[in-house]
Structure 1
């Protein structure tokens, strides 16, 4: 919209007949002293000299009808500029003007249709078209000279605006009637960020090839939040945008990382958790506002529109036009917000303001794709072709299915986008409360929270309750209660040596010998735990808790590690008891840490072997770990049988990584044991390689299939029908590809190697589907992106 024109440039952009009408309306001479009609440049100079003065503006205001004055005031409230279509809709919607259905009549003072009223304001020299009408023939666009008929956009030149009085700011503001409030909570989001991060820290969480958290882990994650979310079995991450937003925000803040495009890893979060609460909210807000991890068009579905991104930019990282549109919505939010955070603003007022003042804030209306191939698409003949909602008409390269006209498109795309910004991230971040009407399920109004007003520069800094106002209570039964407000850094510390039982407003922990041992492994001695709990609770701990912690510490320190020793392992205690009574073995086997085991100094190994020989025993000697081979037999179900009467202790350690112990001579491979192996860094090939070394002979084929399925070795896949066209030769194919009518329907079938595509005959489809399902693969009916 050209609003930087000088008065002369503005007038020169109008056609000669329109200038004559303006001069005639204002009784400005149109002829020179010789009686000849002024040339256009002479007429422009005369109009410039007379129209753009304080005197003329005041005289014009006095001549305006009530309808004309109200239209002028509304335009002033919209910043003095507006999209014509949106401006007309606004005025008609409020009953100020009627829609223009026939030919306009600006010379008739009683004509109250939109075109006639705006044209009269142009005749008065107050409102002008910011650009001329556009002749669009599809293959060419021409901007015509401006006329009295309103152009695509309207504006009041600055030289006129400075002489106009300020209108009533409440003009056209629809009152917000709120009967139900959904309050925002920055504390909830920040606590959920911590709970999500801590879950990933303590569990293995993976994402699919589509980049979504697996549903089983997602259900557990959702249930671990401050307010647990109950997910249906079929619901995924994209069905609950809030869960997706939490993960993407954590990744944007560098608190989570995706390793190998598969595993979510929790990074060190101490710097973030220890930050001032208000600054954490600010960092989260800025990460969203300027970030490219969230897409309000794609991640929060549009109710009546489906988006096709093929042929254009992918939805991630979020394209720059969407990020800038998001910022534009926030700027209008600042502009329209009431002085008090307690005042509600109708969501429709925000949408109307953006529609009128920044109609093209999301999709420009004069965009043309660089590639001419778009012009031969299906939409050449469809209703979308000449709208910005077709792929070749917007910089995103996206098609918005369900839109049939440009005016309808704004209601179906831009308006929901604005609502998504308000009801999604801004509400989740704790910056806006939502207001609902009597019966509607959608919000009708919003208001800034004190924290939102501060972040947008509209209110004073907010004092967020600190940990000093919360409480940590240690009970004699080893229960620890963290009563809000308590910092997430404190919760992260409690996680080290206590088990979290619940994550409600009063977060419950419980200490046990096992949880304290976990803390001791990380350098938290009993004395350190006691000192910390007394510091955060502000008092002495129950005596029995102190005594138990000190006893657990003594037990921990009582454990002794022997390095470079030899272990003698017997099948049962009786065997070792009998050998210990042998005169040549008594001194060698005197140190028995367990009934079936004895420790021997490495220098005594040769003497021990010789003494065992004199006692009639030939021992199996393992001098190095990892040399166990041909020591078990497996069946197709995953049952493992150890073949030696006294299995090697090294073998038990190796099997414990991927199998469950049944007894001393039997193990079993199960889905849970394979999952445990995956969490320890093993994968299906590593498990099968280990089994092949230990197994006598080849592994059962069905067992290898099961292990790969349980490990999700092949990932997910897609089976989609494909139609192939075979031609005479490459020359015929090349010629048809260049055909303007046939070409758009053809693509070469030469997929890149990374797409990993294979052809399947229709007859084999169901058999293949069954076999792939047996191998643990989830099959979708659309190709993976």
Structure 2
């Protein structure tokens, strides 16, 4: 069916609109209209009725006449339709009228589908209390137009009739002539009627964003296979926030605000996920922005993003197919969220005083009335043989709360009995979730409670601003002031920017996060900063810019001392070293004019660092060869995996060259000991240490066999296995074996009580490994076992 809603430019076009509307109607409706509006028609042809009514409808006189024929309840129903900008599904209108008490629930016993509609439409006003009567009257007086046809089991009509009309609207020509409806004013709630108010703070939320990010910067966070933070990292993050939550034994899924912070930071580009780890972007631009810009950017990231799914906050229903908190939300969720925010903004614009409270239920009612399908589009197809129950009855076949009934493929449980229950359980709570979670968390709305229930909300000034219904809020944009104490404590006093805090976190330990944030400068925190390029001078310069008083001299002096200590040890990655057999040789090399230019520093008596300039090492090798000192070169640990030493009976290692590679020393340090003279020994304590660090006896033997010059002596293998308790323990027990002629004889002997008590069949447990030894060899076996570290017990297990 075509929609006849167009703007008329003159009476001719208005008549054409009316004619198209009337052509869609069943002839019976036209007869009712003629009777109510008293339009003279002298024929019985439908076209004559259409022509006569089209000349009358949508005129000031017809609208005035139609209004005069309405009861008070029918006028209120008309006003409700006036407040709806678009068409309204017939079933939706019935639900709204029932909710507001404008119609009475239909009774199957009272009406039947075969009762003539004129008998309902033409009854007295006090009798027109059913939805069918109100709907019929509004259509029959020409003020409300019906369009679209739904399928009925008991009828095959192809024209719009009272019982099969799909949706309703007020034609534009009529709307322009109707009196303006009274505006829907939000119900104002007084703060004194609330028992508890949760005031939100955008500033506190921004600070928590910073604290979360700074925690991840200092300690990368680890995710489980399900994409959740491990509990230890969750507690670490939680303790860093302004107001830590009581986590108990629950994990991240049970603390939605902490998940929201993490996903929002990721959406803002301040956190990055690398496989199973969450890392902070080192220097995000976000913290350098003005506070107001950061708040708006945070709001827009949530409003337009897919990282958050408010439907998962509906705790009393289970949604199959919706995924988890860390899964992206479908596009429909972001659209629904934006539409709810539009309704919040429109209600705010209607307020006489912006700081007034709005009932949560009023917002829910506004969305229910004007934007019912904001989450799930409905497909109304009533299937019943009783008209007056047609839009009341709810059938699972057409429910949007099952996977094939919505574009997201979600199924809700427990199943809902009717449309009203479904909407109140899902859409109404979706709206509440937006208010009680993101808007409240981000400091954009305060929540008022009465008897433990969230009853009302109030946009904060910054909340009204980001929604476009309030002026921009003046938020102080200063770096703040830092007080430096002689005991190395720092106090960052509010208002202070997160950019300043990020600098402090580089070289100081944060110990308390309240209105005055407390830090402590420690040698460890300064060392951490030095690793990222800070020096004592740059730290002192930063503190002087943050503080309006001179720095304590002991703090300045100590920072310089720590800098000197730091510079004593320098880590050079990938550096080339020159080792000499003794200090005298290296002295001679350093003094030589052909060698000295190739060396950078001399950190030890026998070690020098080769210059990192390209080709320097090759030139040094040529210079050493020219002096008669051809060097042994080792480029990687793999180069040392060759025979390099022998082991004497005492366990000392003797190297084949005077100066082994440091890589060889590194490998030997795993399972050998070193004395004060620098000699290496194979000892029981060194073997035990290697086993404790994860090596096995076979690992040690494999390395010894690779590095030993010639075959590894048998006694070394025996010692290593003994020290490593490779063979475990054993048990020795003396028994006497009796040999019987055959098994049959043994069975007969065992059957005799006197023999059966003292003679037993020798049948060892299959789980026990037993061996036989002659008694004359027992002492020798004990000595051999002891040599191999096997302890002999005197009783079998």
TM-score, normalising length from structure 2?
A: 0.68
Q: Which residue of 2 aligns with 1:390?
A: 402
Give the conservation status (yes or no) of the 8 Å contact 1:135–1:144. Answer: no
What stretches of structure 1 of length at least 5 have no aligned partner?
369-381, 570-578, 610-615, 633-640, 652-661, 675-686, 699-785
- Note if 1:278 corresponds to 2:285: no
User: Can you list the C-alpha shifts for 1:582-605, whole angstroms capped at 9, x where unaligned?
Assistant: x9999999x9989xx765799799
- Note if 1:436 corresponds to 2:452: no
Which residue of the other structure, out of 245, 248, 254, is the alignment partner of 2:269?
Answer: 254
Q: Which residue of 2 aligns with 1:757?
A: none
User: Can you list the C-alpha shifts for 1:371-407, whole angstroms capped at 9, x where unaligned?
Assistant: xxxxxxxxxxx96333111211111112112123333
- Note if 1:531 corresponds to 2:541: yes
Q: Which residue of 2 aligns with 1:263?
A: 277
User: Can you list the C-alpha shifts for 1:177-208, whole angstroms capped at 9, x where unaligned?
Assistant: 53321112212221121111111111131222
Give the conservation status (yes or no) of the 8 Å contact 1:295–1:315. Answer: no
- Secondary structure of the 1:434 match is strand
Deviation at 1:269, TM superposition (A): 4.1
Which residue of the other structure, out of 175, 181, 193, is the alignment partner of 1:161?
Answer: 175
* Residues 48/269 of structure 1: CA separation in 2 closer, same or farther (3 Å cut): farther
* Residues 269/430 of structure 1: CA separation in 2 closer, same or farther (3 Å cut): farther
- Note if 1:14 corresponds to 2:51: no
- Secondary structure of the 1:131 match is strand
What stretches of structure 2 of length at least 5 have no aligned partner?
7-16, 112-116, 382-393, 591-600, 610-619, 633-652, 707-797
Distance 1:391 1:608 in 2: 76
Deviation at 1:173, TM superposition (A): 4.4
- Secondary structure of the 2:286 match is helix
1:375-454 → structure 2 map (5 Å cutoff) = 384-404=396-416, 405-437=418-450, 439-440=451-452, 442-454=453-465
Distance 2:170 2:43 in 1: 32
- Note if 1:193 corresponds to 2:222: no
Distance 2:519 2:446 in 1: 32
Q: Which residue of 2 aligns with 1:645?
A: 674
- Secondary structure of the 2:404 match is helix
Give the conservation status (yes or no) of the 8 Å contact 1:88–1:99. Answer: no
Deviation at 1:229, TM superposition (A): 1.6
Give the conservation status (yes or no) of the 8 Å contact 2:672–2:686. Answer: no
Which residue of the other structure, out of 300, 319, 339, is the alignment partner of 1:307?
Answer: 319
Deviation at 1:506, TM superposition (A): 2.0
1:760-779 → structure 2 map (5 Å cutoff) = none
Which residue of the other structure, out of 529, 532, 544, is the alignment partner of 2:554?
Answer: 544
Distance 1:25 1:427 in 2: 54
Distance 2:272 2:455 in 1: 38
Distance 1:392 1:314 in 2: 23
- Secondary structure of the 2:311 match is coil
Q: Which residue of 1 aligns with 2:790?
A: none
* Residues 584/467 of structure 1: CA separation in 2 closer, same or farther (3 Å cut): closer
Deviation at 1:280, TM superposition (A): 0.9
Give the conservation status (yes or no) of the 8 Å contact 1:119–1:149. Answer: no
User: Can you list the C-alpha shifts for 1:579-627, whole angstroms capped at 9, x where unaligned?
Assistant: 99xx9999999x9989xx7657997997999xxxxxx997976654544
User: Can you list the C-alpha shifts for 1:724-778, whole angstroms capped at 9, x where unaligned?
Assistant: xxxxxxxxxxxxxxxxxxxxxxxxxxxxxxxxxxxxxxxxxxxxxxxxxxxxxxx
1:744-763 → structure 2 map (5 Å cutoff) = none
- Note if 1:297 corresponds to 2:297: no
TM-score, normalising length from structure 1?
A: 0.69
Q: Which residue of 2 aligns with 1:631?
A: 668
User: Can you list the C-alpha shifts for 1:315-371, whole angstroms capped at 9, x where unaligned?
Assistant: 943212222111111111112223533111111111122222222221122399xxx
- Secondary structure of the 1:385 match is helix
- Note if 1:36 corresponds to 2:43: yes
* Residues 57/624 of structure 1: CA separation in 2 closer, same or farther (3 Å cut): farther
Deviation at 1:175, TM superposition (A): 5.1
* Residues 178/82 of structure 1: CA separation in 2 closer, same or farther (3 Å cut): farther
Task: Work out the number of aligned pairs and report it.
Answer: 615
1:701-740 → structure 2 map (5 Å cutoff) = none
- Secondary structure of the 1:467 match is coil
Distance 1:427 1:125 in 2: 47
Distance 2:200 2:347 in 1: 19
User: Can you list the C-alpha shifts for 1:694-752, whole angstroms capped at 9, x where unaligned?
Assistant: 96699xxxxxxxxxxxxxxxxxxxxxxxxxxxxxxxxxxxxxxxxxxxxxxxxxxxxxx
Distance 2:524 2:291 in 1: 32
- Secondary structure of the 1:509 match is strand
Q: Which residue of 1 aligns with 2:532?
A: 522
Q: Which residue of 2 aligns with 1:344?
A: 357
- Secondary structure of the 2:426 match is helix
Give the conservation status (yes or no) of the 8 Å contact 1:23–1:47. Answer: yes
Distance 1:449 1:3 in 2: 43
Higher alpha-carbon Rg: 2
Distance 2:324 2:55 in 1: 51
Give the conservation status (yes or no) of the 8 Å contact 2:296–2:466. Answer: yes
Give the conservation status (yes or no) of the 8 Å contact 1:629–1:694. Answer: no
Distance 1:158 1:24 in 2: 24
Distance 1:361 1:505 in 2: 41
- Note if 1:214 corresponds to 2:230: yes
